[in-house]
Amino acid sequence: MLRRTVLGGLAAGAALARPAAAQDADWGKVVEAGKKEGKVVVYTASIGSPFHKTVFKAFEAKYGIKVELLEARASEVRERVRVEQSAGRFLGDIHHNGSTTTWLMTKDGNFQPHGAVPNFKNIEAPYEATDISIPAEVISYCLMINKNMVKPADEPKAWKDILDPKWAGKILSDDYRALGGGAVFFMVMYDTFGREFHDKLAAQKPMFSRDLQNSERRVARGEFPLYIPFSLQDYNNLKGLPVKPIVPVEGRPYVRFDLSTLKNAPHPNAARMFLNHYLEPESQLVFANAGYNPVVKGVVEKTSAEIRPLLATKAMGTTTPPRQDAMLALAKEIYK
Amino acid sequence: MSVAVTVPAPSAHPPTHPIARAFARHGRAAGLTLLVLLLGFLSLYPMAMLFYGSLHSTPPGMAGTFNLDGYAALASNENLAALVNTVALSLVKTVLSLALAILMAWIVARTDTPGRGVLEVLITLPFFIPPILTATAWAMLGNPQVGTINLAWKALTGLETPLVDVYSYGGVVWHMMQYSTPFIFLFVVDAFRAMDPSLEEASRMSGASHWQTFWRVTFALMLPVTTSAFILSFIRGMESFESAVFFGTPVGINVVTTQIYNSITQKAQPDYQSATALGFAAMALMFVLLVVQSRLLGGRSFTTVTGKGYSPSVTRLGGLRWAAFAVCVAFFALTVVLPVGQLLLSSFFQFFGFYQLDMLTLQHYRDVWENDEFWRAFGNTMLLGVLGATVTMALGGIVAYVTTRTSWRGRRLIDILAWLPWMMPGMVLGIGFLWGFATLPHSIPIYGTLWALLLAYVALGTPVAVRVTSGAYAQIAKDIEECSRVHGAGWWQTLGRILVALAWPAFAVGWVLIFFGIMRELSASILLYVPDTEVMSVVMLKMWVSGKPEEVSVLGLIMLVLVLVFRWVQLSFIKKRISTL
């Protein structure tokens, strides 16, 4: 990873070191070639998101390049790419998936270097590009309560507040023993508070469900007063219901989605233009207003007043792909 | 009912052209070879890919080693518990569903219960509602905290203990029964109708009671159809996913399919070896069942449709007919009115389950109407559904003929090949199709086209088509067929004008079952679709995952309307045909 980051940095640095006019001319050629290619095929694990479609439609309108989407769950996207490539079928250009799957696929050699892209300069720390992948957007996790069931005075303010015995049997949660938001939450809480946090949370007997959207509705209907970990962007679908997202004082666990260019992409120039478009502040603003944390500078400040306080919170931490399987096993041991 | 059979005109002359002569001479062998190759491609080929996957440390196309780790992992306590749960849950729900379905099929087909025609359509409706929607509806009705049923119960009795809890073994069984009962009903109802009542009359005249006649004659003659339905339903129960994942997993009830799902999607590194090995273990169990069924039925005759005329008769139930009516209506109310009522209501409100006047809206209908992707998927699904169901029934009709009406060599192989896809859980078989089709030579244009979906659907539907038609063929006397052959009709003429003509109500049922199976199929579709070939199940998944259950409700209702139209057309034809005979 370090080698790739350094290479990515060097590539971006080398591009920046060149005279601006030469860079513009080079990029002009990419744009010209991309328009001739006429389309870009995106394999994404972000299913049915209207915000992504807004950004893709803006790309189509700006360049006249058609975006074709193949949406499936993370492991399905990964297996399709793997089997297609091993059979010599190179159909996709861009891969959009969570950072753990992207890391595994990088190890498997499913991607090719994306080449220099002008908007890499927009990326904001702690997010960074490598020569293989660039950050796309960030899913942030917080708590969600049913406002009719939890009085303002009883609202949890810190993550440790959910360990209070009054929440025993009242927490609905994504499963920590499976890849996804639950696993991110588990790892970040473990890294921050240690195993003791999880031992105490297990004693609260949280009810697990992997049907995330339905779980959120169940809390809204009053089956449970508290849901964890709540993906902030899902709040868009719940506005008007008696629910409230709360980012605890310690901050929010997060997981990054990455973009990569698939090996032997049939439309490599259109793919580069797509990456560049994704990192435009206007594109990132669409994601930010939807509840995703942006990965480029100067965007959070421009978001709507309602979402800004939630996004402008401390990022607590994220998953570390090499430790993922060990963490899932530990979660299985603690939450039997 | 007098069975009017048009005996085909004899063929004029034997073929004179050398190729035609050669075909006539070798036609059967060539036809059988073609059938074996086709079925082999549809079922054995993806299965072989999966078998490779179960024996190899990595999926096809990746460097790895052959080992038995996948099968060794089966012996874990977790997997063994899941296997036991799977068999127990499926057995309980199949026995209960079979009893209920047979009772209702008899009521509808052979008694004077009022409103039988309407009841027949209504009873089958639950089968066609997407399981994800009924699961959501029942979660709202029967959750222990604020479920509508429990709130009503607490208000009525003043008790604090909930009446029902859908998050339990009972909840899983109940949700599965909503699909298996109408499925079995569809299977057996036409068999009841096609039966010669003189056999029952003989029983009654010999002094047997209604019950004895039902049990010893009616039910006994239904054995091929009922055991077929039982086996199909039991196997489908073992492969069921939605009921367990919704109502079982949250309380620690795991089954084979949830374990497979966990192996593939819930680990950082998907474990296809364990998933496929678990699929084969489940398949081995199902295979044992098939052998038992074959032993049970071997050598017995179930002929009820003969060349002799008979007229329809119904059992007069007297006052009991209202009780029979109540049974069917109660089933309909519980499995359709409650969940569908909730779907219908929710489709007009901003949020599923929040019925406030200020939230009334038609927005979900507008959103679906204006969704280009939905219309593209709808067109693809209709095309694939009509083509797929027709091709599958044609293939199933031929396979059933070869396996049940001939003594040709190779028929057992054909039977097994046609069965294989039904015995592998859908989510594993979907991977088999992906691996199989993607690795075909690029000159065979299947992967990435509608053909991939069509072939997968035909493979998945063939077992149902074969069971439906072979059940119906088993009731047709061989003398009619022989009469046709004696009069010079060829094999195809006899198949089309005798067997299909007599068994066509079963064909119609099979067609509808397969058509709606295609509409609902997701496991293979999600792995085989490409940007231009989306189908409705994929669009529904996208809507669901992006938090739009209300739009999924709209799609569910559209599907229900389609079902009503199809069933109405089908039953009108059946009535028309019976009245002309």
pLDDT, mean of each 10-residue run, chain B (581 residues): 41 52 68 91 94 92 90 89 93 95 90 87 84 84 86 90 93 94 88 74 79 78 81 87 88 90 84 92 84 70 51 72 91 89 87 85 94 93 96 93 83 87 87 94 92 95 88 73 73 71 80 89 88 90 86 87 82 62 37
The answer to whether the CB atoms of A237 and B543 lie below 8 A apart is no
Place of tokens 């293989």: A132
Residue to substitute from A211, A234, A236, interface B, most B β-carbons within 10 A: A211
Backbone Cα Rg of chain A: 21
Q: A191 and A141 in contact (C-beta within 8 Å)?
A: no
- CA-based nearest residue to A334, from A160, A159, A167, A198: A198
Classify each residue of B514-523 as buried b or exposed e, where b means 16 or more C-beta atoms within 10 Å of its C-beta: bbbbbbbbbb
Classify each residue of A53-87 as buried b or exposed e, where b means 16 or more C-beta atoms within 10 Å of its C-beta: eebbebbeeebebbbbbbbbbbbbbbbbbbbbbbb
Cα–chain center distance at B83:
22
In whole angstroms, give the CA distance from residue B565 to residue B182: 17
- Please compute the mean of the pLDDT values over residues A208-218 and round it to a whole number: 90
In whole angstroms, give the CA distance from residue A203 to residue A223: 20
In whole angstroms, give the CA distance from residue B161 to residue A284: 50
**Residue B575, pLDDT score:** 65
The answer to whether the CB atoms of B545 and A216 lie below 8 A apart is no
Q: Which residues are bridge partners to A133 per DSSP?
A: A260
Token pair for A208: 């697990």
Q: B90 and B240 in contact (C-beta within 8 Å)?
A: yes
In whole angstroms, give the CA distance from residue A300 to residue A287: 10
Q: Phi and psi dihedrals of A217, rounded to 5?
A: -65, -35
Tens of pLDDT, residues A274-285: 999 999 999 999
In whole angstroms, give the CA distance from residue A75 to residue B427: 13
SS3 content of chain B, % helix, strand, coil (to 5): 75, 0, 25
Decide the pairing of beta strands A39-44 and A66-71.
Answer: parallel
The answer to whether the CB atoms of B246 and A211 lie below 8 A apart is yes
DSSP string, B459-506: HHHHHHHHHHHHHHHTTB-HHHHHHHHHTT--HHHHIIIIIIHHHHHH
Per CB-CB distance under 8 Å, the chain A contacts of B61 are 82-83, 86-87
Per CB-CB distance under 8 Å, the chain A contacts of B272 are 79
Per DSSP, the three-state class of A228 is strand
Rounded to a whole number of angstroms, the distance between the first and last alpha carbons of chain A is: 34
Token pair for B371: 């969704």
Q: Which residues are bridge partners to A50 per DSSP?
A: none
- Please compute the mean of the pLDDT values over residues A231-236 and round it to a whole number: 92
Provide the 8-state DSSP code for A139. Answer: E
**Residue A98, pLDDT score:** 94
- CA-based nearest residue to A172, from A130, A136, A204: A204
Task: Compare CB distances from B526 to A76, A180, A237 and report the shortest one's residue.
Answer: A76
| pLDDT, mean over chain A | 92
In whole angstroms, give the CA distance from residue B176 to residue B174: 5
In whole angstroms, give the CA distance from residue A185 to residue A198: 11
Tens of pLDDT, residues A79-126: 999 999 999 999 999 999 999 999 999 999 999 999 999 999 999 988
The answer to whether the CB atoms of A70 and B249 lie below 8 A apart is no
In whole angstroms, give the CA distance from residue B160 to residue B178: 28
Per CB-CB distance under 8 Å, the chain A contacts of B148 are none
In whole angstroms, give the CA distance from residue B416 to residue B291: 11
The answer to whether the CB atoms of A224 and B353 lie below 8 A apart is no
In whole angstroms, give the CA distance from residue B88 to residue B256: 12
Q: A298 and A281 in contact (C-beta within 8 Å)?
A: yes
In whole angstroms, give the CA distance from residue B226 to residue B189: 10
Q: A319 and A99 in contact (C-beta within 8 Å)?
A: yes
Q: Which residues are bridge partners to A246 per DSSP?
A: A143
**Residue A17, pLDDT score:** 52
**Residue B298, pLDDT score:** 63
Measured in angstroms, the CA of B244 and the nearest CA of chain A are apart by: 12
Per CB-CB distance under 8 Å, the chain A contacts of B548 are 48, 237
**Residue B300, pLDDT score:** 56
Rounding to the nearest 10 degrees, give the CA dihedral for residues A204, A207, A209, A214: -110
**Residue B343, pLDDT score:** 82
Q: Which residue of A has its CA nearest to B374?
A: A48
In whole angstroms, give the CA distance from residue B377 to residue B282: 33
Residue to substitute from A49, A83, A91, A97, interface B, most B β-carbons within 10 A: A83
The answer to whether the CB atoms of B61 and A82 lie below 8 A apart is yes
Q: B130 and B519 in contact (C-beta within 8 Å)?
A: no
Task: Compare CB distances from B545 to A48, A175, A217 and report the shortest one's residue.
Answer: A48
Q: Phi and psi dihedrals of A296, rounded to 5?
A: -115, 160
- CA-based nearest residue to A180, from B540, B76, B545: B545
Task: Compare CB distances from B438 to A78, A83, A175 and report the shortest one's residue.
Answer: A83
What ipTM was predicted for this assembly? 0.84
- Please compute the mean of the pLDDT values over residues A1-22 and round it to a whole number: 51
Per CB-CB distance under 8 Å, the chain A contacts of B542 are 47-48, 71
Place of tokens 């002929």: B303
Measured in angstroms, the CA of B417 and the nearest CA of chain A are apart by: 25
In whole angstroms, give the CA distance from residue A212 to residue A217: 9
Q: A89 and B448 in contact (C-beta within 8 Å)?
A: yes
Token pair for B524: 């293979």
DSSP strands (E only) in A32-131: 39-44, 66-71, 94-98, 111-112
**Residue B91, pLDDT score:** 94
**Residue B3, pLDDT score:** 40
Measured in angstroms, the CA of A243 and the nearest CA of chain B are apart by: 13
**Residue B22, pLDDT score:** 60
In whole angstroms, give the CA distance from residue B21 to residue A100: 64
Proportion of chain A above pLDDT 90, given as a percent: 84
In one letter, which amino acid is B287?
F
In whole angstroms, give the CA distance from residue B435 to residue B51: 11
Q: Which residue of A has its CA nearest to B534?
A: A70
**Residue B6, pLDDT score:** 42
**Residue B29, pLDDT score:** 81
**Residue B420, pLDDT score:** 87
The answer to whether residue A11 scores a pLDDT higher than 80 is no
Token pair for A105: 């696929």
Scan residues 419-448 of B and list those with Cβ closer than 8 Å to A: 431, 434-435, 438-439, 442, 447-448
